[in-house]
Amino acid sequence: MSFSVPPWRATASASNPTPAAYPPSATPAYIPVQARRSLAHNKPTLPATNGADMTPADAAPPRVQFPPAVRSYVQRCFAPENQMASVSTAEMQEKLRFVITDAAENHKLDIIDWERLALPQVMVQNERNKILANPNVSNWGISTPSSPADPSRKRKSTDIHQEGTGSPPWRKANNNTRNRFEDRITHPSTEKRPRMTTDDSSKSKANLEMRKKRFEGAGASYGNSASASPVPSPARSPPADQGPVIGRCQTLEKNYFRLTSAPNPDTVRPLSVLQKTLDLLKKKWKKEGNYGYICDQFKSLRQDLTVQHIRNEFTVIVYEIHARIALEKGDLGEYNQCQTQLRVLYKQQLGGHPTEFKAYRILYFIYTRNWTAMNDALADVTADDRQDLAVKHALDVRSALALGNYHRFFQLYLDTPNMGAYLMDMFVDRERLTALAAICRAYKPDVNIRFITEELGFESDEQTARFVIENSSAELLEEKTGSVRLLTGKAGPLFEQAKAAAHAVVDIKGQI
């Protein structure tokens, strides 16, 4: 059986120098006992010479009197006829120590039927069998070598223990309990807590490992890198804020997957690859126009830039292109994300098209009617920006709407630079209703529909008529002397209602 140490296993052993030395055990409660034993201050309390010539029978210390049943149990453990070839003395002692400590701590010394209790070596053997029969029971079982197969490694660390103490296991266990008892008297809180925490942390660490393992499986399926199985690599999970990741993935396309842990360099594309990716995506977008695919790809592209801390003109271009595509498809949620990022990127003077996007930003806040943000956006506009056609246009649009100057607004609408028209399309109908509400109040007794078509930027009288009918009723249109006229008096209240409905709060959280 070859055992490669998986990464989660490797980290576990790093924190605990001698894991392989302990017999496999499915009970996590075993760990704290080991931890206890390694605490340095316990050792000096035990004179080395003391244990050497002691026999099990008289080893019970004066303070804690073990019942005779326990003593005979221990004696039986060490009896030569009970030794098993497959279980070493060290392992047996470990187990024994555990059994007695456990019993003493839980005040079960008098409850347990020591006559019938299985000897520690038998317990060890049983546990081993169980794990062999069903390897999934325990993580430990898989990676720990079965003890007889690898005696040298295990021997080493156990020998050290033996040398250091030289006392029989129960003697030590006894010492432990006694020390703990004394400790409790002097420092009640400090004694209890470390035990609890070690126990907790080992348990939660185990949980964490399990979770990580699960995610690695998922990662292999979404990432298209070479790592199909969780290959151990110590560099794979650097701590969160230890500088940028350096990617080594060479595949152009990658699905977006939200990060839940530090990124794996194997699935991150370096800048040179990302540049090719962008070219590919641009071509694909032109050819196929599949927004779902493009958006996903751009998100992963942005993610790779972020995790590698790449902030340069390329970053700006990526965000700009994604923002424009999102605009074109009316995906304002995604657009807004890009816009927020772009605002910060532009502040760092990395190039790109700041004025174009400042203009979009103003139009966007007109649409969402977020006046607090609009105030901020206006504060961002500098005197130089004002000279820019797009910015000037957006500012004029804003001011025209603020003053209710629909005439000017629709002139501006028909002459929008860049991709601003996509944004203006979002709120143009809303403003048409506002304008109609005003027109109906001001003009009496009726107006030619031709006037509305021209004034409110409709393409044809038919479109105007359809808009009127959709938002109010057909009875408001009347044919008179060869032209269709809107009966303003009756229409007023209806458009007023439609306007109020259209101006209800805009929710842009939904994304495509």
Partner 1 sequence: MSTLAAEFKSAYGAGSGDGLAAVFTPIATQNKPYRLQSFYDFTNAASLQKDLSFALFHGKSLKVPRAEQTAWVDIFAAYWEAVGEVLKCEQGRRDASLVAVFIAWKKVANALIRGYSSSSGIPAWTLPCLYTVGKYLRTFAIKADIEAAAQGTSGFGFQDDVAADIEKNANLEEAARIINRMFTLCLSDRAPIEESRKWGIYNTTNLIFKTYFKINSVGLTKNLLRAIKAQSADLPPLEAFPKSHIVTFEYYVGVIHFLDENYAEAEQHLATAWNMCYRGASRNKELILTYLIPCHLVTTHTLPSDQLLASFPRLEKLFRPLSNCIRKGDLVGFDKAMSAGEEEFVKRRIYLPLERGRDIALRNLFRKVFIAGGVEEPKEGQPPVRRTRIPVVEFAAALRIGTHATNRTRVDIDEVECLISNLIYKGLMKGYIARERGMVVLSKNNTAFPGTGV
Residues of this chain that interact with partner 1 (CB under 8 A) are: 240-241, 244, 258-263, 299, 302-303, 305-307, 309-311, 315, 337, 340-341, 343-345, 371-372, 374-376, 378-379, 399, 402-408, 437-439, 441-444, 447-448, 451, 454-455
How near is the Cβ of 430 to partner 1 at its closest, in Å?
A: 16
How near is the Cβ of 366 to partner 1 at its closest, in Å?
A: 12
**Spatial distance between the Cα atoms of 450 and 462, rounded to a whole number of angstroms:** 10
**Spatial distance between the Cα atoms of 395 and 359, rounded to a whole number of angstroms:** 8
How near is the Cβ of 433 to partner 1 at its closest, in Å?
A: 13
> What does the DSSP 8-state code read for residue 475?
G
Cβ nearer to partner 1, comparing 198 with 411: 411
How near is the Cβ of 454 to partner 1 at its closest, in Å?
A: 8
**Spatial distance between the Cα atoms of 480 and 477, rounded to a whole number of angstroms:** 10
Single-letter amino acid code for the residue at 131? I
**Spatial distance between the Cα atoms of 464 and 403, rounded to a whole number of angstroms:** 24
How near is the Cβ of 344 to partner 1 at its closest, in Å?
A: 3
Cβ nearer to partner 1, comparing 96 with 345: 345
CB atoms within 10 A of CB 41: 8
Cβ nearer to partner 1, comparing 305 with 325: 305
How near is the Cβ of 319 to partner 1 at its closest, in Å?
A: 8
Cβ nearer to partner 1, comparing 60 with 435: 435
- Token pair in block for residue 132: 């062999």
How near is the Cβ of 443 to partner 1 at its closest, in Å?
A: 5
* Pair 2, 116: CB distance under 8 Å: no
How near is the Cβ of 450 to partner 1 at its closest, in Å?
A: 11
Cβ nearer to partner 1, comparing 104 with 359: 359
How near is the Cβ of 183 to partner 1 at its closest, in Å?
A: 25
Cβ nearer to partner 1, comparing 2 with 372: 372
Sign of CA dihedral 144, 146, 148, 149: negative
Best CA proximity match to 319, nearest among 362, 351, 363, 286? 351
* Pair 317, 278: CB distance under 8 Å: yes
Cβ nearer to partner 1, comparing 141 with 492: 492
From the number of C-beta atoms within 10 Å of its C-beta (0-12, 13-18, 19+), residue 347 rates as exposed
| 224 Cβ contact list (under 8 Å, min separation 6) | 251, 253, 254, 267
Q: What number of CA atoms fall less than 13 Å from residue 178's CA on the CB side?
A: 17
Token pair 């806040």: residue: 365
Cβ nearer to partner 1, comparing 66 with 406: 406
Q: 186 vs 64, 183, 198, 285, 341, CA distance in Å?
A: 19, 5, 21, 73, 58
Cβ nearer to partner 1, comparing 142 with 373: 373
**Spatial distance between the Cα atoms of 135 and 133, rounded to a whole number of angstroms:** 6
Write out the H or E segment, with its range, that includes residue 487.
Answer: strand 483-487
